[in-house]
Amino acid sequence: MAAQAELRWAILVIAIVVFLLGMVVYMSLHWALMPPARIETIDPTTLHLAGEFTEGNLGTAIEPDGSVTVRVIGQQYSFTPQCLLLPANTPVRFRSTSSDVVHGFIISGTNVNVMLEPGYISTFEATFKTPADRVMPCHEFCGVAHAAMWARVRVIDKKDFFKQAGKERRLSCV
Amino acid sequence: MFDSKRLVLAHFWVASIGFLIAAVLGEWQMYVRSPLHAWISNSELYYRSVTAHGAAMAYVFPTLIAMGFGYAIAELALKQPLIGVRWAWIGFALVVLGTVTAMVPVSMGLASVLYTFYPPMIANPFYYIGIVLVVVGSWIWVALMSINLHAWKKSHPGEPIPLAMFASVAGAYLWAWTSVGAAIEILFQILPVALGFKSTIDAGLARVFFSWTLHAIVYFWLMPAYIAFYALVPRAIGGRLYSDTMGRIAFILFLVFSMPVGIHHLFQDPQVGWGIKFLHTVFTGIVSVPTLLTVFTICASVEIAGRLRGGKGPFGWIAALPWKNPMMLAVAFSFVMLGFGGAGGLINMSYQLDFAVHNTQWITGHFHLIFGGAIVIMYFAIAYDLWPHLTGKALSDVRLMRIQLWLWFVGMIVMTFPWHYVGILGMPRRMAYFDYGHPAISPEALSVTITFVGGLLLVASAILFIVILLRGHIGNRISLPIFQFSVPVHPPTRLPAALNSFALWITLMIALSIVNYGYPIAQLITLKQSSVPAIPVSVQR
């Protein structure tokens, strides 16, 4: 009797855990919602000299295939660029890294949540539904002035964005 | 028979004093970053305080409670004098020495890297050396727990190990293995840089090693609380333990499944691939099983107490419970907080939901509710239960104990619920100040003020706890019955070897950790160009 009650509870517990994990699997497959995947390394001491994270290449870019990529660097105690300009209703790929210590960022009101680690390139994909001004704080302790490290994100109408993108190679709202 | 009274008292007193200081620091932090205070002019002071609060609460306080409680159990449950008392004092001295060694550079502002280290930031080497000494002191305890158990087994062949001792030794082995991750990070990665032998460090690999320790350390903190659930609560409230076997299974599951889950702290990190992240999500789901089993067994044990006291009907037994008994109150509060905190943990386990809350105040709320709430409130109950046996004097003011527990429970809810809420709004952790005038942050201001009020209740409760313990030393001398642990409904007479020994489970624990951590560690070690220049924190840049 007692052992049966225990067994029933154990089966229920396992069913709950399997159900929760099943939801994770479903979301992963159905919406392709996965944590950042590929492991890419980069030398933080030469970011500014060559490669995709040189200053002139930071900000939002339209790639040759028409997709949108935004490149951001975190450093003690700011992001470059400090204001990201992004189109609404368009898949956006973030590519970012750190030039010194561990940083991270979250964009308020969205699921964008990325850790930046020196030596590694972080990627994240997101689509912003509506035009809005948002804040983007550093969310990992990076030194004594960590609390001052906030950037901004301006999501604008898709048409306006691509009109502006025709004029400039890299976009930001600094 | 309880010879190690002074040893156990020393552990509990140093733990409690450290806990009080760290609690006051925590409340100061909540004050300076709340709208009640102007922006702190020197935010380095804030992070100095966070480092001291975190290191004391994570490394010193629970370690000393686990050690002290473990020694008490080794003597009281095995009914034999503690073997290696001199070594136990050496372990204790190492923990105290390590704490002082670490806290000197912290208080001088030379080690404001928080308790989680964050390489490539590098602090004063004495901070890390101090923490290593604390851990080495605790390893002596691990060895002594094992030695005492084996001596007992030799003289009691085939007898079931008392559940409290079985659980305590499981906790010791768990800690021995989980502390290895941070030990590797400190000894092979951080200290060579801090001492000036190297100038670069792989920050991503360091985070992987630290995650090996960082999640399972929570289960090490939790062990004394769970031992109290099984071995003290049913006895203290006049019930029986519903199932001794289920207790053993729960502790074995913790031992085996605590380690291979830590990468769920790294869901947003770039240096671990999604396959390993998914694997750790699955194991995180599995490690919730022993807690859910425990909830059932302990609720059933409490129901037995209610019915023995004349409670009838589906709910009548709840009213019949001895609610004036501090242990009853503590376990009820603990379960409420464990329920909310555990549900939050299942949310964090899903990496999709974790995107919304990773590194926000939600996480701060989550681990304060689980550790500070569900676990620490049981530490109080353990101290109250043991104290008369340690001092030989009565703890007579039961009302004061109830007030202390109520304050802790209400304070913890008032502090952590708003933290969860602002975390969902996207409020980041570890901020020395916020610009509450900014329209994106102003909606969070009221919640931060409420958490400060919750913190005030917690500090009041922490002070009361110390007062109650102090008064325990000046009460009337009493003669006590022999210390008893809970009696199961069906006391085991013979157990299968699997439920009465550890060799199989330790093998499984190590094997699973190697499977779940071996690949990412090997991958990062063989990766070229991933070490980066260290950034010393004490140097002005």
Domain-located, residue B2: no
- Residue A173 covered by a domain: no
B396 found inside a domain: yes
A174 part of a folded domain: no
Whether residues A15 and A92 fall in one domain: no
> Mind telling me how many Å the CA of A166 is from chain B's nearest CA?
31
B112 CB neighbours in chain A (<8 A) are 144
| Interface touch B285/A13, C-beta < 8 Å | no
Both A134 and A63 in one domain: the answer is: yes
Q: Looking at residue B286, what is its pLDDT?
A: 94
Q: How large is the ipTM?
A: 0.93
Model pLDDT, residue B39: 87
And the tokens for B100?
């002082």
Model pLDDT, residue B541? 43
Q: Are residues A8 and A85 in the same domain?
A: no
Tokens 């291979």, located at residue: B260
Dist. CA B526–CA B506, nearest whole Å: 28
Q: Is residue A172 part of a domain?
A: no
Interchain pair A120, B541: CB under 8 A: no
- Work out how many domains chain A is built from and give that number: 2
Cα separation, B292 vs B246, in Å, equals 11
Phi-psi map region of A53: left, alpha, beta (phi>0 left; psi -120 to 50 alpha)? alpha
Same domain flag for A118 and A88: yes
Domain with residue B227: its CATH number is 1.20.210.10
Helix (H, G, I), strand (E, B) or coil at B112: coil
Supply the pLDDT for residue B1. 53
Q: Please indicate whether residue B31 is annotated as part of the active site.
A: no
Intervals of chain A under pLDDT 50: none
**Are residue A4 and residue A57 in the same domain, yes or no?**
no
Domain membership flag for residue B3: no
CATH of the domain at A105: 2.60.40.420
In the three-class reduction of DSSP (H, G, I as helix; E, B as strand; rest coil), residue B436 is classed as: coil
Interchain pair B359, A140: CB under 8 A: yes
Q: Which of B429, B433, B471, B519 is catalytic?
A: B429
CA distance A85 to A153: 6
Domain shared by A55 and A18, yes or no = no
Rounded to whole angstroms, the Cα distance separating B343 from B330 reads: 20
Asked if A78 contacts A149 with a C-beta cutoff of 8 angstroms, the reply is: yes
Same domain, A27 and A68: no
Residue B298 lies in a domain: yes
- The neighbouring-strand residues paired with A126 are A92
- pLDDT < 50 regions, chain B: 540-541
A5 touches chain B (CB under 8 A): yes
Q: What is the pLDDT of residue B485?
A: 97
B438 annotated active-site: no
Nearest 10 degrees: Cα torsion B181, B183, B184, B189: 120
> Would you say residue A116 lies in a domain?
yes
Q: Does residue A44 belong to any structural domain of this protein?
A: yes
**Is the same domain home to A63 and A135?**
yes
Q: What is the pLDDT of residue B37?
A: 93
**Interstrand relation of A103-106 and A113-116 (parallel, antiparallel or unpaired):** antiparallel
To test the contact with chain A by mutation, choose from B214, B249, B253, B271 the residue with the greatest count of A C-beta atoms within 10 A, namely: B271
Beta strands A59-62; A68-75: pairing state: antiparallel
A76 and A133 in a single domain? The answer is: yes
Tokens (6 digits) for B531: 């070490």
Q: What's the structural domain count of chain B?
A: 1
Same domain, A44 and A28: no
Q: Is residue A97 part of a domain?
A: yes
Query: Would residue B368 show up in a list of annotated catalytic residues for this protein?
Result: yes
Mutation for B interface: A8, A14, A99, A102, most B CBs within 10 A: A102
Task: Specify whether A124 is located in the same domain as A88.
Answer: yes
Domain-embedded: residue A14:
yes
Whether B384 is catalytic: no
Tokens (6 digits) for B343: 């549900």
Q: Give the nearest partner residue to A34 out of B207, B274, B285, using CB atoms.
A: B274
Domain that holds residue B205: 10-536
Whether A13 and A66 map to the same domain: the answer is no
Q: Does A74 touch chain B (CB under 8 A)?
A: no
Q: A3 lies in which domain range? A: 1-34
- Residue B41 confidence (pLDDT): 84
Between chains, do B358 and A102 touch, taking CB under 8 Å as contact? Answer: no
